[in-house]
Amino acid sequence: MTGTDQTGEFTTANLAAWEEAAPIHGKMNQAQLIEAFREPGFSCLDEVETRRLEALGVVGKDVAQICCNNGRELLSVKNMGAARCVGFDGAQGFVDQGRELAQAGGLEVEFVCTDVYDIDERFGLGFDLVTITIGVLSWMPDLERIFSVFANLIKPEGALFIYEQHPILEMIEPASPRALSHPVRAATCNVAAQTRDLLALSPTPLANPDGVRPVRRTDRMSRPGGAPGQRPIRPAPVNGGGRFTPTLGPGAALVSLLRR
């Protein structure tokens, strides 16, 4: 089986699972979200993501979100003043929920049901900003190919905004009494706290070995105990051009920006 065949097999299975999950998610929060988006200017974005997007400047920008789920984040960006907004997701159930939320809020946002590896060429180079948020990258079996998809959507001088966290962070809550009452968990939390302190004291500037425009530094992260001045991890080439250099600290979400 070729790599492309494997990617298709994985994504087909993933999309079937998400399609099954969509009505379950809808029963849990769709009614509340409909009421929320009826309020002008509603946003579900947390403080960190909001602050970074404001600094980036989304007002009047064309924005796409990959794997947008029910579109609540993209609709929030629209309420921040973005112009054309398009959300791509592979589960029709979530696309339908996104359209329902957009209608409730009177927001002109397009939702497209598609395998994100096969986004229609008509969207090529159409966006000032492409966003992906928590949980997307871990579902992508072919990272090189998906980053090529991102690059093909971004206008010249546009940007890719990534808001992500390591999945293991969903397993540990350093501030919880339950975590600290268990010796192994307590030791893990202690190591993480010491590492955070070390990284906070030793900020490392982002490297720019290829002379391309560097990504911007992150500031405090949304998870408990996040610290400024996080150490960058090893850069990974993207589409043969710029370098994707996120900054990440223990117990923190990851915010990164890649410019064309």
Q: 131 pairs with which residues across the strands? A: 65, 161
Which of 199, 196, 252 lies closest to 223, judged by CA?
Answer: 252
Token reading at 118: 């096969």
**Distance (Å, whole) CA 25 – CA 20:** 10
**Distance (Å, whole) CA 238 – CA 258:** 9
Please, are residues 75 and 109 in contact by the beta-carbon 8 Å criterion? yes
pLDDT digit string (tens) for the chain, length 260 residues: 556 678 888 889 989 999 999 999 999 999 999 999 999 999 999 999 999 999 999 999 999 999 999 999 999 999 999 999 999 999 999 999 999 999 999 999 999 999 999 999 999 999 999 999 998 998 899 999 999 999 999 999 999 999 988 777 767 765 555 544 544 444 433 434 433 333 333 333 333 333 333 333 233 223 333 333 333 333 333 333 333 333 333 334 556 667 77
What residue type is 109 in one-letter code?
V
Sheet holding 110-113, edge to edge: 110-113, 85-89, 63-66, 127-132, 154-164, 254-259
**Distance (Å, whole) CA 132 – CA 124:** 17
Q: What is the pTM of this model?
A: 0.69
**Distance (Å, whole) CA 102 – CA 108:** 7
Q: Where are the domains of the chain?
A: 3-164, 167-259
Which of 182, 162, 159 lies closest to 172, judged by CA?
Answer: 182
pLDDT at 187: 41
Q: Which residue bears the tokens 């927001």?
A: 107
Provide the CATH number for the domain formed by 3-164 in this structure: 3.40.50.150
- Number of neighbouring beta carbons within 10 Å of residue 48: 19
Please, are residues 146 and 140 in contact by the beta-carbon 8 Å criterion? yes
